[in-house]
Amino acid sequence: MSNLFECHALGFSYGADAGKTQVLDNIDFSMKPGESVAILGQSGCGKSTLLNLIAGLDTPTSGEVLINNTKLYSLNENARTKLRANTFGFVYQFHHLLRDFSALDNVALPLLIRGDDKKGALQNAKDLLQKIGLEHRQQHKPGELSGGERQRVAIARAMITEPACLIADEPTGNLDAHSASETLSLLLKLNYESQSSLLIVTHDQAIANKMDRILTLDNKTLNTV
Is 202:217 a contact under the CB 8 Å cutoff? no
**3-state secondary structure at position 195:** coil
pLDDT in tens, 3-15: 889 999 999 988 7
The answer, yes or no, to whether residue 172 has pLDDT greater than 80, is: no
Rounded to whole angstroms, the Cα distance separating 111 from 211 reads 29
The answer, yes or no, to whether residue 78 has pLDDT greater than 70, is: yes
Rounded to whole angstroms, the Cα distance separating 102 from 120 reads 17
CATH number of the domain enclosing 159: 3.40.50.300
- Predicted local distance difference test score (pLDDT) of residue 1: 60
Residue 46's domain comprises 5-224
- Predicted local distance difference test score (pLDDT) of residue 82: 86
Q: In DSSP terms, which residues pair with 39 in a beta bridge?
A: 201, 215
Which one-letter DSSP state was computed for residue 210? T
CA 96 to each of CA 112, 147, 152: distance values in angstroms, whole numbers, following the listed order: 17, 12, 12
- What percent of the chain is predicted at pLDDT more than 90? 24
User: Measured on CA atoms in the order 96, 187, 184, 165, is the torsion positive or negative?
Assistant: negative
Q: Is 158 exposed, middle or buried (0-12, 13-18, 19+ CB in 10 A)?
A: buried
pLDDT in tens, 123-147: 999 998 988 888 898 999 998 998 8
pLDDT in tens, 21-65: 888 888 999 999 889 999 988 777 778 889 889 988 888 999 999
- Predicted local distance difference test score (pLDDT) of residue 41: 81
Count of structural domains, the chain: 1
